[in-house]
């Protein structure tokens, strides 16, 4: 499941809405909505994301948060380490190989550590 999929499911269940009902209202199949919630589909298109936001009638900060979650919820990531250090390449490969073995607590610790790193200027 992706962060976006988790939030989408939470919004839907909080309001007591079925996948089938929501899918019909936003013009997608229930199978697509299920795949989106479970992280088996990539990020929704801008148009679909806007339909979801309108469907839930959310505005401002909550809408921005949903957009942010969509942006960080691609379940199939490619990491280009060309031009980076050998350590960066090793890290990317180890993460790819071990991601399924990382528990939630460890993942959250990694996330916090990475978020705390200073922004690096693009060359």
Q: Where are the domains of the chain?
A: 3-71, 77-123
* pLDDT reading at 37 higher than 90: yes
Architecture of domain 3-71: Orthogonal Bundle (1.10)
Which residues are CB-neighbours of 12 under 8 A, at least 6 positions away? Answer: 18, 19, 22, 37
Q: pTM of the predicted model, to two decimals?
A: 0.74
The Cα 80–Cα 76 span in angstroms is: 13
The Cα 119–Cα 38 span in angstroms is: 31
* pLDDT reading at 7 higher than 90: yes
Q: How confident is the model at residue 123 (pLDDT cuts 50, 70, 90)?
A: low
Mean of per-residue pLDDT scores for the chain? 92
* pLDDT reading at 1 higher than 80: yes
DSSP state at residue 72: T
* pLDDT reading at 65 higher than 90: yes
The Cα 70–Cα 8 span in angstroms is: 10
Residue 40 and residue 73 in contact, taking contact as beta carbons nearer than 8 Å: no
* pLDDT reading at 52 higher than 90: yes
């Amino acid at each position: 499941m992706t962060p976006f999929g988790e939030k989408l499911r939470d919004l839907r269940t909080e309001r007591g809405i079925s996948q089938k009902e929501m899918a019909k209202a936003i013009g997608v199949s229930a199978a697509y909505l299920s795949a989106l919630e479970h992280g088996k589909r990539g990020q929704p298109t801008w148009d679909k994301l806007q339909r979801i936001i309108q469907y839930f009638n959310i505005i401002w900060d909550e809408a921005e948060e949903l957009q942010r979650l969509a942006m960080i919820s691609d379940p199939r990531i490619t990491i280009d380490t060309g031009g980076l250090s050998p350590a960066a390449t090793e890290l990317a490969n180890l993460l790819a190989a071990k991601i399924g073995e990382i528990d939630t607590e460890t993942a959250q610790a990694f996330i916090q550590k990475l978020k705390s790193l200073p922004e690096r200027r693009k060359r």
